[in-house]
Amino acid sequence: MTTKINIENIELEQTKKLKAISFFNGGGGMSLGFLEAGYDLLMSNDIEPEAKKSHEINHPDIPFICQDISTITKQQIFDTIKNQSIDVIIGGPPCQGFSNMGDKSSCDPRNFLFESYLRIIDFVQPKCVLMENVAGFKNMYGGKFFDNLCNKLSLMGYDVYSKILDSSDYGVPQKRKRVFVFATKLDATYHFPTPSKSDIGALTSKNNVGEAIMDLMENYESYPNHIPLNHTDIVIKRYQCIQEGGKLPPPEELPQEIRRKNFGNTYQRLHRLRPSTTMVPGNNAFPVHPVLHRSLTPREAARLQSFPDKHVFTGTRADQCKLVGNAVPPLLAAKLAQSIQEHIEGNAFKGLMVEDLVCMRGEGYKRSIKKENIKTEKNSMTFVDFFSGAGGFALGFKQAGFKGLLSVEIDDHACLAHEKNLKDIPLLKADLSLKEIQEKIKETLKGKKIDVLVGGPPCQGFSLFGSRRYINTKGYDPTDDMRNDLVFKFWEYATILQPEWVIMENVPGLETLCDGLYLEKIYEMAHKAGYVNIKHQVLNAANFGVPQVRKRLIIIATKKNYVLPFPKPKYHENNKDWQYPFRTVGEVITDLAEEESYMIHKNHVPPKHNEIVSARFSYIEEGKKIDIDKLPKKLKVGTKTGKPIKNFSHVFKRLHRNKPSSTMVPGHNAFPVHPWLNRTLTIREAARIQTFPDDYEFFGPIIHQGLQVGNAFPPMLAQLIAERLKRVVSNNWTPDNITELAKYSMLKFEE
């Protein structure tokens, strides 16, 4: 008997493509690799306009969402992929916070973009996940970001693998080490690809620089993106001094007129018979051509990244260099894609334990710490936090690696929040204005060395939202306000405890109060206490990655002749091409508008406004205050008072999703209106805007939770100040020896 086989069904099964979606697409290296390996790419995403334009030229039929990943909604994704099941999510979140290049900071907001990546993984539920980052991601900042990623993937039901791969082992003519994290819901063991020099599709393997680019020495107009940089005569003379495969000689070996210190890849010449050094983004960041006296063109760099010539990059030359330098080499991505396909199709061994396995699904992950890597308390810088509230300052300093010796706060609910969230920092519930508390504090500290005293004495006496607004109508005398005396009490404690550093935060109004007499008195007290260097600056939290315009006076004093660690602004309202724009409300609260988020997050209870109030909110345009004249007559009158309503500055102001928030002020009823929902912010949304992590919980009645959040110092800014202070001390930076790079990129100096 002859069995009939349906050849058509077999062919259909064999040609069925695996489905992938890509995030942080950039120049398209990862997505191109998966396409060449035979995957069906359903969508891509990146925030950069030139990434979108490049994608649309190279892959016009594949949808592209040009948007910050933090603001992408579940519905957007499912609409774009037409509700199809996904086999693999791929992406490489920005690496600047982990890279050895530039100014690293653990509180760089870009470090947290993988959280948005995880959010999308959680609701898309792909079979597998692939993430790429710089090798430093694995161990930088004690590995806390890597550990958090692996832990969360495991708890989401994935086995997690990780390995550092060098592109040159896979046919890419470039030494480029990157860490890859692979996560899978499948039972089969995953194996990273073994080194090979094979071609895949249009992606060809090359052994060295010469094989990849020497045919591009002429015919610049024949190849896309083959744009040489017009160097100055001095730069060309420097290039002429660099031997093939070498770097610029020491300054003393150069003619006087062209001397300078070596700076990264800029003055490094490639060798034809070796792989290239790592391509990094930047218009003038590419290394020098092996034989020509110029840096590489974007096309030559793209060849060294294994991009085929048909793959085009758009924008200015600088844009093209950025897209190329940040990309995952497509050939390496294709080999990873093939290994993932083998894993999904069950062609890998099952049950075999491999060294690349980080953790199993459901087990979570916490790395074992070797004794020699544990910092002793003796080596950790210490701090004491007065008027600590719910712990914004304390959290920031703790995240920067400081050890908290003591926090002092008087409010019951704030104390509870501090105790629950910062369990390793001793807390004293006390009124700092009472003299007997001084002995209690000294007894608690037991003579321990204090590196930093931080604190924000209550600011209502100076605030524009407090009594100062009534100065003319009430005959208000700031010297009669007891709260203002707490500022001097803070500096009395500095005199008693003698910390090496003192950092005080308050509202900007303190600077001009009583024609500056209060500030003058603070300086006088600091000098008498032995602080030789004291200065103040008004810092806007929005300039440091906090999605909120929040200006605060910061006073920093030190007993030694250190430079003061006022951080340099990195984010700007009217940013230049090379600067970062202010972070926005939409970046941090978009996911909290999803209905299921109310069940997931603590302190995320939507306010229950009556119908009249919600109706009023519906008339407020995004980013604007209420226009009472536009309200229907029935909405112009207060439901309880029967009197015409007033345009209160915060209560009837709607935030804009594409701008930073206005200042969060204390009180649940003082929070502004949500950008698109007809309600005010929840406690969790306000906490996100203040840069508190989601696992930080607030306690007490809702009005007290609002006070805890609104009064807090943004932890992200506190952490940045702490990191800068630690860097100043570890490098012993004084005005005489601080490096020019630190002046340029890290610290802000007032003229």
Domain boundary among 326, 346, 381: 326
What is the DSSP track for 429-472? Answer: E--TTSTHHHHHHHHHHTT---SEEEE----TTT-TTTGGGGTT
- Residues 604, 696: contact at Cβ < 8 Å? no
Rounded to 10 deg, the angle between the 517-528 and 482-497 helix axes is 20
Say which of 321, 415, 459, 514 is annotated catalytic. Answer: 459
Residue type, 627: D
Query: DSSP code of 278?
Result: P
What SS3 class is residue 113?
helix
Pair 416, 294 in one domain: no
Q: Token pair 């019951």 is at which residue? A: 412
pLDDT at 13: 44
Q: What digits encode the pLDDT tens for the residues 581-599?
A: 999 999 999 999 999 999 9
Q: How far apart are CA 313 and CA 307, in angstroms?
A: 11
Pair 296, 166 in one domain: no
Q: How far apart are CA 510 and CA 488, in angstroms?
A: 12
Domain that holds residue 140: 15-197+329-359
Pair 544, 692 in one domain: no
Helix or strand run (H / E) with residue 745: helix 740-745
Look up residue 89 and give its two tokens.
């999510």
In the predicted model, residues of the chain with pLDDT beneath 50 are 1-14, 98-101, 351-352, 372, 374, 376-377, 463-473, 476, 482-483
Q: How far apart are CA 45 and CA 91, in angstroms?
A: 9
Terminal C-alpha separation, the chain: 96
pLDDT at 105: 67
What SS3 class is residue 391?
coil
Buried residues in 27-57 as b, exposed as e (16+ CB within 10 A): bbbbbbbbbbbebebbbbbbbbebbbbbbee
Q: How far apart are CA 541 and CA 527, in angstroms?
A: 28
Pair 690, 589 in one domain: yes
Pair 389, 535 in one domain: yes
pLDDT at 143: 85
Pair 503, 410 in one domain: yes
- Is residue 27 assigned to a domain? yes
SS3 content of the chain, % helix, strand, coil (to 5): 40, 15, 45
What SS3 class is residue 177?
strand
Helix or strand run (H / E) with residue 688: helix 683-689
Q: Token pair 């926090």 is at which residue? A: 407
Pair 537, 450 in one domain: yes
Category of 26 on φ-ψ map: left (φ > 0), alpha (ψ -120 to 50) or beta: left
Task: Please report, for residues 617, 629, 679, the alpha-carbon distance to residue 632 in angstroms, rounded to integers and kept in the order given.
Answer: 12, 8, 19
Number of domains in the chain: 4
The pairing of beta strand 357-359 with beta strand 580-581: unpaired
Closest-CA residue to 85 (of 132, 173, 149, 21): 21
pTM: 0.84
pLDDT at 447: 86
- The reply to whether 150 belongs to the active site is no
Pair 154, 40 in one domain: yes
Residue type, 245: G
CATH number where 142 lies = 3.40.50.150
- Is residue 226 assigned to a domain? yes
Look up residue 377 and give its two tokens.
């308390």
* Alpha-carbon 265 to chain mean position: 26
- Residues 566, 557: contact at Cβ < 8 Å? no
Phi, psi of 712 (to 5 degrees): -70, 150
Look up residue 232 and give its two tokens.
């100055």
**Angle made by CA atoms 368, 371, 372, in degrees to the nearest 5:** 120
Pair 735, 696 in one domain: no
- Is residue 9 assigned to a domain? no
Pair 334, 321 in one domain: no
Max Cα–Cα distance, the chain, nearest Å: 108
- Is residue 364 assigned to a domain? no
What SS3 class is residue 365?
coil
What is the rounded (10 degree) CA torsion for 420, 425, 431, 434? 160
What SS3 class is residue 182?
strand
Query: DSSP code of 555?
Result: E
Please enumerate in sequence order all residues whose Cβ is within 8 A of that of 524, keeping only pairs 6 or more positions apart, or say none: none
Pair 533, 411 in one domain: yes
Category of 171 on φ-ψ map: left (φ > 0), alpha (ψ -120 to 50) or beta: left
pLDDT at 473: 45
Pair 348, 295 in one domain: no
The pairing of beta strand 533-540 with beta strand 551-558: antiparallel
- Residues 43, 62: contact at Cβ < 8 Å? yes
Residue type, 61: D
Burial class (CB in 10 A: 0-12, 13-18, 19+), 579: exposed
Please enumerate in sequence order all residues whose Cβ is within 8 A of that of 175, keeping only pairs 6 or more positions apart, or say none: 166, 167, 168, 275, 276, 277, 278
- Is residue 7 assigned to a domain? no
